[in-house]
Amino acid sequence: MTKCALITGGNRGIGLAIVDGLSKLGYKVLLGARDTEHAEQALTHIPSQDVHVVDMDLASEQSIADHFSRAVATYGDIDILINNAGINLDEPFLGSNMQKMQESMQVHVLAPMQLTKLTLPGMLERNFGRIVNLSSGYGSFYEGLAGPLNYSTSKAALNALTVTSAKTVENTNVKINAMCPGWVHTRMGGKDAPRTPEQGADTAIWLACIPEDGPNGMFFRDRTPIKW
């Protein structure tokens, strides 16, 4: 049976490259996006007929639950979850706005946590699942949490979520990992970024396809483990 992958924030940049890459490998792909009209337009560049836009607004627990239930009822169980959606609400610490931190935590931590909890029971029952969290070196304590306040803090929390959730699936064929795409030429990364969305997407696609003896609870850049 064809495996089904859900990618959040899949309507542009790295997310769209992941959608394209997994569809070319023969997966059924659900392109999760808040702006479904824009996502439908983005699909004109994807040749596969088995890619479907699903409304996936990550703004609240209720909206995530409703949209996820609707997607599963329409397209079936999720075998691969890629928590790709991201925002960068940059601001200095002393002038920081708590609302912006809350929004960052919602998109980068709480939404991935809820989607992981929604997908895990079925994955464990079928003894197959791959969850990939799109993180950043800016969320690495080893690399100095060198990015903007809200972004670095929330990505560090996403890394912690990856480690703790991965412990719940040890000794199963469910794998939960995080990856850093590097500095990618996207709307968030900016025009000076040296990497293409396809280069940024490569490790996420690889982690979505790892075999049963593949890694769990690890952090990668360019398919190579890096330190938290």
Residues recognised as catalytic? 151
Strand order in the sheet with 4-8: 51-55, 28-33, 4-8, 80-83, 129-134, 174-179, 219-221, 224-225
Instruction: Give the three-state DSSP class for 182.
Output: coil
CB 20 within 8 A of CB 30: no
Cα distances (angstroms) measured from residue 88 to each of 3, 74, 100, 148, 188: 32, 32, 9, 8, 7
Q: Is residue 171 packed enough to be buried (19+ CB in 10 Å), middle (13-18) or exposed (0-12)?
A: exposed
Phi-psi region of 84 (alpha: psi -120 to 50; beta: other; left: phi over 0): alpha
How far is Cα 148 from Cα 137, in angstroms, rounded to an integer? 12
